[in-house]
Amino acid sequence: MDDLVKWPEIEKAATGKRRELVLQGPNVERRISSGGGLSPDIYSLTLLNYLEVSQCPSLTEIHEDIQHLTNLQSLILCRNKLVSVPNVVGNLRSLKVLDLSVNNLTVLPKEITELKELNTLNVSCNNLEFLPEGLSQCTKLANINISKNRINGFPPDFYSERLDLLSTLVASDNSIDLLSGDIQKLPALKMLDLSNNKLTEIPFNLSDCPKLKDINFKGNKLHDKRLEKMVNGCQTKSILDYLRAKGRQVEDGGDTDKGRNTDKGKRQQRKKKEKVADEQDEVEELNKMVVRVLHFSDAPSALTVKVNAEVKDVRPYLVCCMVRGMNLRPGNALKRFLVAQTKLHDDLCGRRTIATIATHDVQLLKAPLTYDVKPPTQLKIAPLGRKEMTAVELIRHLQLEADELRKQKKRQNVTGLHKYLQILQGKSLYPCLVDAEGHVISFPPITNSEKTKIKKTTEELFLEVTSATSLQTCKDVMDALIVKMAELNKFTAEHKEEAGSDGEGDTPPEPAASCETSSELIVQQVRTVDQEGNLKVVYPSKTDLSKELSSLTVIW
């Protein structure tokens, strides 16, 4: 019977005294469903400091014996169907990262508040209605993600100076109807996302958070309509300045928006100010992020990607497009873009298990392109930052690097490209994007090529998203990537003068081209076709980039 069969991954971890174990995919799911859960042998691996069990719909509970894994620093149980977490999780006193996202949890055990070393808590995409009281006891918390639940508020003790390391709080897509002015007690808060909730007010005390740089309150029906316009424009500095001014108004005993001021002169003065403010809002409306779509039929340099039939059994879904107008020259613009791409990989792409993004410099591409599969011994690529090698050699190098990292006491977790190797386990053919000269420019989900690497001087990008899940997944990820690029481009345009040089010895800036004086992005459609030339998909189509984003205007 399956439940009596030893799991090879667990045996290997035990004999090799491994400190990391990742269990995911169809084979693990089959064993869990037929054997009634995880193998109990897993709870004897007391040396583990990293455990991930993910993408297993049959996994609905974790046994209490998990309390024996007292050396765990990271516990990743995302994308399963967990309905509960045992109270004994509070005994994992070394735990720094707890990821319970994308499950069916309705409640969290109060014992989570006993995890004194906890740095990151991700419980997004569940059915939680409240958070346990006492989270302020987890004084090392720096990142909290509770998005996409049913939570209607924060516990009373949450706004505590004890959480003096909390820098990121993501609570979007909930039912939160009140944000306390005590939010100012979180001195390290840098990013706050409360979009798509039920807030009607934003406390002016929020402006007293000294490090706050990024806020999102979109999708809330605020009483203050001027503030709501600013929120929909996502202008953090303007919002904080506005809240700060409102706070001074209240402190000075001025107009508190409750209709107490009946003095005619003051009313006229207020109307005059509101008229000026409305005019400023109109200007801001004209400065929205703009994405202009260049249709395939209108493009003299139109690009087509041929998809070979063999990919359907390996990684069948692909969408591509080209983007002009992305200004990567000033300051840290390129770095911000790469960081944003990494975040999309970690979040929306499920650490590349759901989808993978690759970016290329169009000027370095040799068209036409072909999406194909190759045996590991025949797939040759020059990975980012490395010399050319076969996929077999690359994977061997990455495995050796991972083993070496495991031996280092100060760095025992799997990092970098190493954590994606398990996605390819058991595959005899690997997916790849090949240029007209036969060079592999992309090897998803591992890496793309040094040959087409983007730089500060890149003026046109070729974007590629692949997935084994669905075509819509590719489109959703590409939508999110383009929206993020538009946001970053607008930020770069607004802060270009203050950005200055990044000190990397770049040549003096050339006179700005037209695309650099505007934050507008031009997205050129790319077609993917089958081997006979029949159309498979065009991106973007009329149904893409259609999400209701007040700050993004798509011009067809």
pLDDT tens track for 191-215: 899 999 999 999 988 988 888 888 8
Residue 123 has pLDDT above 80, yes or no: yes
pLDDT tens for 517-536 read 457 888 888 999 988 888 88
Give yes or no for residue 448 having a pLDDT over 70.
yes
pLDDT at residue 457 is higher than 70 = yes
At residue 169, the 3 state secondary structure works out as strand
Length of the chain: 556
Confidence of residue 82 (pLDDT cuts 50, 70, 90): very high
Pairing assessment for the beta strands 447-448 and 440-443 based on DSSP bridges: antiparallel
| Sequence-separated contacts (24+) of 331-336 with Cβ below 8 Å | 331/492, 331/495, 331/496, 331/499, 331/500, 331/501, 331/502, 332/499, 332/502, 333/456, 333/488, 333/492, 333/499, 334/454, 334/455, 334/456, 335/502, 336/488, 336/491, 336/492
Mean pLDDT of all residues in the chain?
82
Report residue 412's pLDDT band, with 50, 70 and 90 as the boundaries. very low
Residue with the two structure tokens 């020059």: 382
Residue 445 pLDDT grade (very low, low, confident, very high; cuts 50, 70, 90):
confident
Q: What pLDDT score was predicted for residue 517?
A: 43
**Which position has the higher pLDDT, 139 or 509?**
139
Would you state the structure tokens that stand for residue 324, as one six-digit string? 């002009």
Q: What is the dihedral of CA 70, 71, 74, 79, to 10 degrees?
A: -50
Higher pLDDT, 301 or 503: 301
Structure tokens of 188?
């390290």
What's the mean pLDDT in 428-433? 90
41 pLDDT higher than 90: yes
Is residue 268's pLDDT more than 60?
no
d(CA 359, CA 433): 12
Of 306 and 24, more confident: 306
Sign (positive or negative) of CA dihedral 38, 39, 44, 45: negative
Q: Residue 146: what pLDDT?
A: 94
Percent of the chain with pLDDT over 70: 79
pLDDT band at 129 (very low <50, low <70, confident <90, very high): very high
Please check the confidence at residue 417 and state whether its pLDDT lies above 70: no
Confidence of residue 547 (pLDDT cuts 50, 70, 90): low
Residue 542: per-residue pLDDT: 77
14's enclosing H/E stretch is helix 8-15
The pLDDT of residue 551: 58
Higher confidence at residue 472 or residue 248?
472
Q: Which amino acid is at 142?
A: A
Please check the confidence at residue 414 and state whether its pLDDT lies above 50.
no
274-322 pLDDT, tens digit each: 455 454 444 444 445 677 776 655 555 567 899 999 998 888 999 999 9
What digits encode the pLDDT tens for the residues 56-73? 999 999 999 999 999 999
Give the pLDDT of residue 421.
58
Distance CA 470, CA 478 (A): 13
Residue 324: strand, helix, or coil: strand
Question: For 399-423, b where at least 16 C-beta lie within 10 A, e where not — what string?
Answer: eeebeebbeeeeebbbeebbbbbbb
pLDDT, position 511: 36
Contacts of 43 (CB under 8 A, 6+ apart): 63, 65, 66, 68, 69
| Section 237-249 average pLDDT | 83
**pLDDT tens per residue across span 87-111:** 999 999 999 999 999 999 999 999 9
Position 452: which residue type?
A: T
How far apart are alpha carbons 211 and 190 in whole angstroms?
5
pLDDT at site 470: 86
Q: 440 pLDDT exceeds 60?
A: yes
Map out the domains of the chain with their CATH numbers.
2-253 (3.80.10.10), 289-414+429-495+512-555 (3.50.40.10)
pLDDT band at 552 (very low <50, low <70, confident <90, very high): low
Do the Cβ atoms of 321 and 337 come closer than 8 Å? no
pLDDT at 5: 72
Query: Binning pLDDT at 50, 70 and 90, where does residue 40 land?
Result: very high
Cis link prior to 203 (omega < 30° from 0)? no
Report pLDDT for 308: 93
DSSP class per residue in 41-71: GGGG-TT-SEEEEES-TT-----GGGGG-TT
- Return the pLDDT at 385: 82
Give the mean pLDDT of 222-237.
Answer: 83
Answer positive or negative: Cα dihedral of 15, 21, 27, 28.
Answer: positive
Q: What is the mean pLDDT of residues 382-387?
A: 86
pTM for the whole structure: 0.52
Lowest mean pLDDT, pick from 55-64, 169-178, 299-308, 481-490: 299-308
Report pLDDT for 349. Answer: 83
Report the SS3 class of residue 142: coil
Q: What is the pLDDT of residue 289?
A: 65
Residue 122: the pLDDT is: 92
Q: Flag whether pLDDT at 553 surpasses 80.
A: no
Burial (CB < 10 A; 0-12, 13-18, 19+), residue 262, is exposed
Average pLDDT over residues 457-478: 90
